[in-house]
Structure 1
Amino acid sequence: MPHPEPAPRRLVRPAAYAVCVEDGQVLLARWTGPRGPEWTLPGGGLHHGEDPRAGAVREVEEETGFTVALDRLLTVDSVHFPDAVSHAGEPLDMFGIRIVYAAHVVGGELRHEVGGTTDRAAWVPLDEVAGLVRVPLVETGLAAWGSEDPARSAVLGS
């Protein structure tokens, strides 16, 4: 008689991201996930005990080369992936909590991450975002950013 498959490990993953928009362009990082490359907001998982604000600043620098200052909290949302798989191939039931900030660049130079979960960073014109292969978090962040100002919402077509 075959043994039943073990239940996936349950994982809660808090993460912090930044929406950086300058001169009609948004800063994005290309995530190298299991579905292939997809553009996302720069950011990612928090270290145990790390303040989300510090985590967002750290992640943006790791993925893009830029130092940012956070302006304000934009939104908090969650995602549930009951059939996720870890990098080691372990089945996961993952619940992600995503904290998204508005930010602006204060230093550094654009560069691509080496040896991480992203392989490119770029400023993308807002009117070209819709044509990218991207994760839904990009829309979530830009919608929250655009909802603060009706003129921004018009730019994003929402």
Structure 2
Amino acid sequence: MKTELRVAAYAVCVRDGQILLARWVTRDGRKLWTLPGGGIDHGELPVEAVVREVEEETGHIAEPLALLGIDSIRRTWPRKLGPVDWQGLRIIYEARITGGELRNEQGGSTDLAAWYALDAVPALDRVELVDIGLQLWRDRPALGHSPLSDPTNG
């Protein structure tokens, strides 16, 4: 089976008891809240990618403050030439917003950006990355790994 690896950088931006999220539109049209972030371009530093992605998806300027951890997920995806064993490495930073204005991404993989109260997050339709990022932000584990992470189901 063919393999694919995607490396991406995401931000946990919390201020005044709220978290900044972007709503991801899946290939099948579902809409799920996620941390702002995305794929790292070839030659780009992860810390630069997270700043770029936050601005693209939310309109805000982010300043990375700390590396919270690295998460890994693994899926089998159908492709035209057969299934692919896909792995995603997600580098998760804590960041603070230093400028810009909240706006929605145009022509990208997300369609909305919003601030949500931390206690409202469990009721949102969201990807597991939101919970993983928040746990890393709260617990700050020495190895940067969340027990919520499971490379085969997340």
- Short-chain TM bin: 0.7 to 0.9
- Within 2, Cα distance between the matches of 1:139 and 1:89? 34
TM-score, structure 2 length as denominator?
Answer: 0.85
Structure-1 residue corresponding to 2:5: 12
The CA RMSD over aligned residues, in Å, is 1.9
- Within 2, Cα distance between the matches of 1:125 and 1:90? 42
Match of 2:120 among 112, 128, 134: 128
**How far does residue 76 in structure 1 lie from its aligned partner after superposition?**
0.4
| Per-residue deviation, residues 64-92 of structure 1 (Å, max 9, x unmatched) | 0000100000010100011255xx99853
1:65 equivalent to 2:81? Answer: no
Structure-1 residue corresponding to 2:132: 140
- Unaligned ranges ≥5, structure 1: 1-6, 149-158
Structure-1 residue corresponding to 2:25: 32
SS at match of 1:116: coil
- Unaligned ranges ≥5, structure 2: 141-154
Structure-2 residue corresponding to 1:105: 97
Q: Give the number of aligned pairs.
A: 140
| Per-residue deviation, residues 115-143 of structure 1 (Å, max 9, x unmatched) | 00000000000000000000000000000
Compare CA radii of gyration and give the structure with the larger one: 1
Q: Is 1:16–1:55's contact at 8 Å kept on the other side of the alignment?
A: yes
- Within 2, Cα distance between the matches of 1:92 and 1:145? 32
1:47 equivalent to 2:38? Answer: no
Q: Is 1:84–1:92's contact at 8 Å kept on the other side of the alignment?
A: yes
